[in-house]
Structures are given as structure tokens and as C-alpha cells.
Structure 1
Amino acid sequence: MPMDFTAIDFETANASSASACSVGLVKVADGRVVDEAHWFIRPPVGHDLFSEWNVRIHGITPEQVADAPGWGDLLPELRAFTGDDWLVAHNAGFDMGVIRGASEAVGAAVPDYRYVCSLQIARRTYHLDSYRLPVAAMAAGFEDFSHHDALDDARACAAIVVHAGARHEADDLDRLAHITRVKIGAIGPVAVREASSLHGPMALQ
């Protein structure tokens, strides 16, 4: 497959993984950005308290998301945007945890995604003192963006993966993960199926 993926970044209202309040998406096809999206999200009741610390980091307030769609309403749009793409995120465990936590909080099925972590790709591509998103993005030639703005962070994440792919001469995401020895993760039904195949009765024979 060519270098196709969707970079994703979430901001949250508090420490709860279900408290997504903003998401940025950048679709990459054949190594080029072809579409972008950004939505504010109204966190579900019980996860909707905005902590002072989080607001200080991303600047999003309860007033900004009061009329925004909830996760249950937004999820179909997110899935339509990403299509069959693999997801890429910087410190992907956090962002995949938000998808899982937000879906479970509203009683929605966790969507089926494979994903790769750009933080891990950066660690195996560059020699840096820090692999935080702004530093890794600078190594990829992507500078002067607003860190903790979800769309800008997704743009930076996409830039890292595209640059790393060119540097490793990898023509698709699967090959890049193989070259850099980065694990391809999964959430949703695909993750359940793969876990069953590894640990189920057939795996013991």
C-alpha cells in the first residue's frame, strides 16, 4: 500500500480518557496531505469537568464546547473521514485510549483501527535530546506550529511520518513500521480477534 494514513490528535478536558474536547485529523494519501478536519467535542456527563491544568495547556473552555457534538454524534463523521486508513498519533496509546474511553462512556462500539505511534518512529529515526512532538517535528522540518492545538499537532505528526518514510525509503506505513521495528497496534474488533487468535484454544494446538 502507498504511504496512506490519517494522523489524529486529541485534547481532553481532564485526566479521564473519555473527556475528549477537541480532535484534529489530517489525511495523507501517497505521502501528501489531502484533507484536514477539526472538531470541538462536548465531553459526556461524568467526564465533563474541565481541569484548570488542562485548560492552561490547550486553552479550550467549557463554553467553547457547550454546543459542540458529543462523541456519539461525532464518531460516524470521524469514521467517514478516516475510512480504512491506519491511524498515526504521537504517543498513540493516549489517543487510542481516548477513542476507546469516549466510545465506552457513551455506549458506542469501539471502532476498528490499526495504528502506529509516531513517537516510536521518531525514536528510531532521529538522534534527539527529546522526542516530544515539537522537537521531533522540527527534525522533520515542520516548525512554528501551535502545540496542543489538535489540528496543528496532527499536522506535525503527519509530517514526522512522511519525513521518516522518505528517510527510510519506505513506500508504505507497514514497511516503515517494519524497518523501524515499531509495533503495529489495533483497537476495536480487530484487536479482539487478534487477541483471540493468539490466546484462544487453536493457539494452544
Structure 2
Amino acid sequence: MNFIALDFETATHEKNSACELGICIVEDGVIKETRSWLIKPPSYPYFNYHNIAVHGINPEDVRNSPTFADIWHEIENLMYGNLMIAHNASFDAGVLRGCLDHYGFFTPKINYLCSIGVAKKAWKNLKSYGLKSLAEQHQINFNHHRADADAEVCAKISLLSFERLMISRNDEIKEVFSKKIKFL
């Protein structure tokens, strides 16, 4: 089973305002690497105080960081040919599309799946399917709302969900979740 789990943090409500990106790479059902990039968003130096209150990233933190345009080709290479999984994937896919559109990059054909839907299929009738709640249920400690930590927990929750559903290969993911897999 191979996929990448992805998470964005944003500076404002704008979809192109990524200020941090985290990617967790899963190969053969094992987490191989988790990476993150602080990103200088187009709104720099403006950050909405509500967003800062969520993730704690300030304009000063990204002052010398690359823009999304500067890192896209590296990210694209990591994503190429992989299924993308995100917790609340419509948000993260929207941010990715917003950044690609803002910088005039072609939007690649990427399949993505939401780990909330995967968890709902694996565990019925939980009170909450939020990332923090699922992590607590599985005794996973993490620094919530930092992109690398959120991406890695998304990968861990997805792997636990797949294990519970007895899914061990990508073609089985596509078979079981065919109606839930979207295209970027």
C-alpha cells in the first residue's frame, strides 16, 4: 500500500494562502518519511489572527521561507503517481488547487481520498471523527495543527482504518472507496 498523507495550514481564508505544508510518505504500508515546509503566502505579511490562533504560525516565521511556487516541483515529484489522503480532504485539495491556480501551474490529475470517510467506514458511531479525537482514541500524541504532525497522524489513522477493514493493497482501496476517491 502506497500513498501520501498531506496537510496544509493557511494564513488567511484564501485558498492560496498556504503557510505550511506537511507530507507523510507511506510505502508498502509503512511510514517512510514525514516532511514539512514553511511557506511565504501571497498575503505576506498579512496573516489573519484567527488562523494564527489555530496553528501558531506568524508572519515572522515565514519571512525567509520559499513561496509555494518555489517548492511546487519538489512536492509534485513526491505526489506523482501516489494516492493523496488528507483529513477533511476537500479543504486541503482546495488549498492545493488555490495555490496552483495562483501561481499559474497546471493542475495534475491526482486521486485523493478523505481519511474522515475512511475512519467512518472502519469505526461506526464514534462521537467525533476529528483528527484530534481519532488520535486520542488510538493513543497517538501529536502537535495538532502543525502540518507535518497532522499529515503523519492522518497517515497513521488511515493505516489503522485500512487494517481494520482488511485492506492491504492500493487496488483494494480503489475497489472499496471508488465512489469516495476524487480527482484534484
The aligned residue for residue 23 of structure 2 is 25
- 2:68 is matched with which residue: 65, 71, 74? 71
Q: Partners of 2:131 and 2:111 in 1: how far apart?
A: 21
Structure 1 gap segments, 5+ residues each: 188-205
Instruction: Report the CA distance between 1:49 and its aligned residue.
Output: 2.4
* Letter matched to residue 107 of structure 1: G
Q: Partners of 1:35 and 1:101 in 2: how far apart?
A: 26
* Letter matched to residue 2 of structure 2: D
The aligned residue for residue 13 of structure 1 is 11
Instruction: Report the CA distance between 1:142 and its aligned residue.
Output: 4.8
Instruction: Report the CA distance between 1:48 and its aligned residue.
Output: 5.7
How many residues were matched structurally? 183
Q: Partners of 2:164 and 2:139 in 1: how far apart?
A: 15
Q: Partners of 1:177 and 1:5 in 2: how far apart?
A: 12
Q: Indicate yes or no: 2:110 matched with 1:113.
A: yes
Is residue 27–residue 82 contact of structure 1 (8 Å, CA) maintained in 2?
Answer: no
The aligned residue for residue 49 of structure 1 is 46
Is residue 11–residue 21 contact of structure 1 (8 Å, CA) maintained in 2?
Answer: yes
Q: Partners of 2:29 and 2:105 in 1: how far apart?
A: 32
Name the structure, 1 or 2, with higher relative contact order (CA <8 Å, separation 6+). Answer: 2
Instruction: Report the CA distance between 1:178 and its aligned residue.
Output: 3.6
Q: Deviations over 1:135-166 (max 9, x none)?
A: 12334x35211110100000110011111111
Is residue 142–residue 159 contact of structure 1 (8 Å, CA) maintained in 2?
Answer: no
Q: Deviations over 1:26-53 (max 9, x none)?
A: 00011101122100011124x7620000
Note the aligned Cα RMSD (angstroms): 1.7
Aligned to 1:176, what secondary structure does the other structure show?
Answer: helix
Q: TM-score, normalised by structure 2?
A: 0.93
> Post-superposition, which runs of at least 4 consecutive aligned residues in structure 1 deviate over 2 A?
176-182
Counterparts of residues 90-129 of structure 1 (less than 5 Å): 90-126=87-123, 127-129=125-127
Is residue 13–residue 48 contact of structure 1 (8 Å, CA) maintained in 2?
Answer: no
Structure 2 gap segments, 5+ residues each: none
* Letter matched to residue 62 of structure 1: P
Q: Partners of 2:176 and 2:139 in 1: how far apart?
A: 23
Q: Partners of 1:101 and 1:181 in 2: how far apart?
A: 25
